[in-house]
Amino acid sequence: MTLATPTGAARIPPDATLAAVLDMVRACRACEAELPLGPRPVLCAGVTARILVVGQAPGLRVHTTGVPWDDPSGERLRRWMGVEPETFYDAARIAIIPMGYCYPGRGNGGDVAPRRECASLWLPHLLARLPGVELTLLVGQYAQRHFLAGRRKPTLSATVRAWREYEPEFLPLPHPSPRNQPWIQRNPWFERQVVPALRARIRALTRGCGGPRSPNPPAPEVP
Ligand code: SF4
């Protein structure tokens, strides 16, 4: 059976539910030959989610545990968002769909780029079944390139700095990896301006669902 249609998307019945599509994704073997550790798609989503987190691709630890953002990057992302794991992993509130769903392997400069097949085969079908998403966090350059396309600025720093241009639908973020600590230190405006705005949006969008129990001190005023 051919998995892809001529447009590149997977063949899926229009009435397939989100759960059914997620099952199909989790059984995907489309680029098995290119994956050093084999397929293990890591993503989660519920139809009522109002927030979507789009990252890059699972690292080795996440590939091993099968839990998205189960690493120091995830700890920092949750701190930025002002949520505890209980909220972050509640698929009814927050959908987590990276650009690449399986661990892509390592190159000289760290993990290689997410596989492109996921976005072309599956992403349109998943997004079509997430009608309640009001805010999509674009974590890192790959998500920003895909979702912002021509609206992206020449650099990631410039794109993140222009975050207000993409409201209310998108919020571009740097990758929270510890490897990005130098970027965080060089750009203090990010934690001073963007993080408080991010927390406020997350608080509003999770209100009424139990809400996040933030471990963080109150956010400072946005200048
Ligand atoms: S990386 Fe994406 S396209 Fe490749 S096997 Fe995993 S889910 Fe399928």
The answer to whether residue 180 sits within a structural domain is yes
Give, in order, the Cα–Cα distances in Å from 215 to each of 20, 81, 88. 35, 10, 13
The answer to whether residue 20 sits within a structural domain is no
Residue minimizing CA distance to atom 2 of ligand 1: 118
121 CA distance to ligand 1 middle (Å):
9
Task: Provide the 8-state DSSP code for 202.
Answer: H
The answer to whether residue 117 sits within a structural domain is yes
Q: Is 42 in the pocket of ligand 1 (CB under 6 A)?
A: no
13 CA distance to ligand 1 middle (Å):
19
**According to DSSP H, which parts of the chain are helical?**
18-26, 60-65, 72-81, 85-88, 117-121, 123-128, 141-148, 156-161, 181-186, 188-189, 195-206
Q: Which residues pair with 44 in a beta bridge?
A: 96
Q: Is 100 in the pocket of ligand 1 (CB under 6 A)?
A: yes
Q: Which of 51, 46, 53, 11 is nearest to 30 (CA)?
A: 11
For residue 41, what pLDDT is reported?
A: 98
Q: CATH number for the domain including 42? A: 3.40.470.10
For residue 223, what pLDDT is reported?
A: 33
Whether 135 contacts 169, CB under 8 Å: yes
For residue 208, what pLDDT is reported?
A: 62
174 CA distance to ligand 1 middle (Å):
24
Residue of 37, 102, 126 best suited for mutating to test ligand 1, as the one with most atoms within 8 Å of CB: 102
Residue minimizing CA distance to atom 5 of ligand 1: 29
For residue 2, what pLDDT is reported?
A: 47
Whether 72 contacts 175, CB under 8 Å: no
pLDDT in tens, the chain (223 residues): 446 665 667 789 999 999 999 999 999 999 999 999 999 999 999 999 999 999 999 999 999 999 999 999 999 999 999 999 999 999 999 999 999 999 999 987 778 999 999 999 999 999 999 999 999 999 999 999 999 999 999 999 999 999 999 999 999 999 999 999 999 999 999 999 999 999 999 999 998 654 333 333 333 333 3
For residue 220, what pLDDT is reported?
A: 34
Q: Is 130 in the pocket of ligand 1 (CB under 6 A)?
A: no
- Atom number in ligand 1 closest to CA 117: 3
The answer to whether residue 17 sits within a structural domain is no
What is the phi-psi region of residue 124: left when phi exceeds 0, alpha when psi lies from -120 to 50, beta otherwise? alpha
For residue 6, what pLDDT is reported?
A: 58
190: containing domain = 30-206
For residue 3, what pLDDT is reported?
A: 67
Residue of 115, 116, 123, 146 best suited for mutating to test ligand 1, as the one with most atoms within 8 Å of CB: 115
215 CA distance to ligand 1 middle (Å):
35
The answer to whether residue 3 sits within a structural domain is no
Domain count for the chain:
1
For residue 44, what pLDDT is reported?
A: 97
Residue minimizing CA distance to atom 1 of ligand 1: 102
Reduced to 3 states, what is the DSSP secondary structure of residue 69? Answer: coil
First to last CA, the chain: 56
Q: What distance in Å separates the CA atoms of residue 85 and residue 184, rounded to the nearest whole number? A: 23
The answer to whether residue 89 sits within a structural domain is yes
